[in-house]
Amino acid sequence: DVTSAEDGEAAIAAALAAFGRIDVLVNCAGIAPGERIVGREGPHDLGTFARVVAINLTGTFNMLRLAASAMAGQEPGEAGERGVIVNTASVAAFEGQIGQAAYAASKGGVAALTLPAARDLARHAIRVVAIAPGIFETPMVAGMPKDVQEALGAAVPFPPRLGQPSEYAALVRHIVENPMLNGETIRLDGAIRMPPR
């Protein structure tokens, strides 16, 4: 549970026990329930909004702060840095759609967290970068009907398909290997700009 301080501490402790240090954290836990601000059954459920923000934004910050604390206490690597933290935002942070108020707000928060976190952690030689994926082949998308998946992929200008997890992983690797990438939110979206619906 990324929202739990205790669970986060246990995860960091387990990583340290297994590897002796933490060089990279990739925050990618998230949920995206859709709900209109005012729907047929009344106003947006406040509990749903709070849950989305808790998992997507507060959970990201929780793991960032715990990993950064562990990284700050370890010896720098060859390049002089102590660690890299990669957070997952979304294109919804910039073009949230109808029914995505909670999701867009939470991912906008992740994008907004990136630069101040990078600046704050620079004195510890820890970099922070965010990736804002477009429409990717994820378990959430895999649960949609095949024709919906194909339509989503076709909406991407180029390449006209869903993004692949391996492409996300390749960008994470590049971020880790490129020490000048810091404090930035990188769109990984095939040039898509989401419509209102």
The residues with which 131 forms a beta bridge, in sequence order, are 88, 186
Q: Which of 60, 63, 93, 103 is catalytic?
A: 103
CA torsion through residues 1, 18, 166, 27, sign: positive
Mean pLDDT of 182-196: 94
pTM as predicted: 0.94
The pLDDT of residue 6 is above 90? yes
Class for the domain spanning 5-188: alpha beta
Give pLDDT, residue 124.
Answer: 98
Q: Which strands sit side by side in the sheet containing 24-27, from one edge to the other? A: 24-27, 83-88, 126-133, 185-188
Burial of 64 from C-beta contacts in 10 A (0-12 / 13-18 / 19+): buried
- pLDDT per residue as tens digits for the range 167-188: 999 999 999 999 999 999 999 9
Return the pLDDT at 181.
Answer: 98
Is 103 an annotated catalytic residue?
yes
* Cα gap 74→80, rounded to integer Å: 11
- With a cut of 90, say whether residue 149 has pLDDT above it: no
Query: 21-69: per-residue pLDDT in tens?
Result: 999 999 999 999 999 999 999 999 999 999 999 999 999 999 999 999 9
